[in-house]
Structure 1
Amino acid sequence: MSDTSLAEADDASCIERSRREPEAFAEVFRRHAPDIKRYVVRRLGGDAAEDVVAETFMAAFRQRDRYDLARPNARPWLYGIATNLMRRHVRTEVQQWRLLERTGTDPVTAPFTDRSDERISAEATRRNLAGALAALPKGHRDALLLVVWGGLSYPEVAQALGVRVGTVRSRVNRARKKLRAELGGINPMAIVSEEPVHE
């Protein structure tokens, strides 16, 4: 398989080839690292993101012999590894949410936004949202943010977290209800997904 055909191959084919030719795994990294990094930065901030992303792909590389080649898309697998690694950083994530709650500054979008009146109003709502997200149980927050910021489907989130699809549905539904209650009836998904990672 040439480098050109490797770029056109699905993730499972790249991973299978990397078992013989380790450098082929670079294609999986090239495809998914930017999205994984954006997701981790949104959750933990920039300081921890580089380490978590590097650890994610190192773990994936070490585990590539166990990857289920029947799954052509490695995205859920990679998000699952990243989510598991972020568990060591729960305190950092909650601190990020509390910082956003106090300051209204999102570490990902702040450098790219202007300060219009509409934006200031949205930031006030985001502060409330940040506090509510910090208060969610970790499993509920993981499921919700994998859907909203990771762009994963419910079955992909189930695969990433190693739980049933029904559990994902329940966690996301409970998280949405709690956030809606904390925000005085405002639809939390309109705020959480305002700066989506994937459409």
Structure 2
Amino acid sequence: MTWHHLLDKLFRKHNGELLAFAARRASPHSAEDIAQEAFLRLMNHPDLDAIDNPRAYLFKTAANLSSNLYDYDQVRRRYHSDEPVDTESLPSTAPSPDAAVAAQQQLERFLAVLGLLPEVCQHAFVLNKFDGLSYPEVAAALGISAKSAQRYVLKAWQHVLQNLGEEFFGDGMAG
């Protein structure tokens, strides 16, 4: 079965359940957006074959998206004001052109170092450190054991520290 057919089958089978889940976690008016985004993220995952339990991936993604939306709404409510904001008087938070170039170069160095690792190490590291998945969740997403997920994340972390330590993390993290 192709991934296209599998995604279609997953959508038909779980979309209603995912919508109800998202509506409970966030709000009924945002549930459809959350469910659609969860399916999009599954569809755009770099290694679909590594996802052992697509349903769990969808629900974990929906939970994360709901949590992010809740946090966003809380901040918006806290700082919302009916008074117009004079945006001309606000200080710019944009980085200087030099800082933006330096950040881009740093990101490229990081990605190049990470790219030297086996693909499964890269995916485990990104899922754990950037997507916030626990080792068992990484394991489920990649179809490996939790111990292997932990080992791959640790290997990637050590590789990054070894190759970029002080440059990225200062004296305290490199050693």
Instruction: Give the TM-score band, short-chain normalised.
Output: 0.3 to 0.5
Bigger radius of gyration among the two = 2
| TM-score, length-scaled by structure 2 | 0.48
**Greater relative contact order structure (CA < 8 Å, 6+ sep):** 1
| TM-score, length-scaled by structure 1 | 0.43
